[in-house]
Amino acid sequence: MASYTYELQDPGILLSNIRQGLSAMEGGNWAEIASFVREGHVEYRPMRVNPMRSGYRYIYQRAKLNLTIYFPEKIFERLLELLDRESLEILKAVVQAALPKRSGYDIHEFHIRGIIGDDDLSRTSS
């Protein structure tokens, strides 16, 4: 019987695991994406699971997780150039594989977003 903990790993470790998964892939632009994936910022938004409702037999359920990775605007723009719908689904599968099975989470929604950093703001204001 497997024991699941509903624990999420440190975001830096997740990004390293994603990088390893992308580095192992052949073809496409995966090597380039792997080279800058660690510059992202991970936001976890777990969805609640209530397996212990009163009057019901316990049934283990994997929890759903909404996951967003934010990248600096320059990297985000490059990702828009590199990823089509199919590639984005492959990337989502790599991210799911990077989450340990024992965490108890499956990705429900996966997003990549751009953020404007201080260096981007200083460039536009001068």
pLDDT for 122 equals 38
pLDDT for 121 equals 42
**How far apart, in whole angstroms, are the C-alpha atoms of residue 73 and residue 110?**
18
Answer yes or no: is 50 within a domain: no
Q: How many folded domains does the chain comprise?
A: 1
Answer yes or no: is 3 within a domain: no
pLDDT for 35 equals 95
Answer yes or no: is 55 within a domain: no
Helix (H, G, I), strand (E, B) or coil at 63: strand
Residue 30: alpha-carbon gap to chain centroid = 15
pLDDT for 103 equals 85
DSSP string, 65-98: EEEEEEEEHHHHHHHHHH--HHHHHHHHHHHHHH
Residue 103: alpha-carbon gap to chain centroid = 14
Range of the domain at 100: 11-44+62-125
Answer yes or no: is 105 within a domain: yes
Contacts of 20 (CB under 8 A, 6+ apart): 98
Answer yes or no: is 52 within a domain: no
pLDDT for 51 equals 55
Per-residue pLDDT tens, the chain, 126 aa: give them.
Answer: 455 567 888 999 999 999 999 999 988 899 999 999 999 999 999 987 665 566 666 666 788 999 999 999 999 999 999 999 999 999 999 999 999 988 889 999 999 999 976 554 434 333
pLDDT for 119 equals 54
pLDDT for 124 equals 37
**How far apart, in whole angstroms, are the C-alpha atoms of residue 113 and residue 66?**
13
Answer yes or no: is 96 within a domain: yes
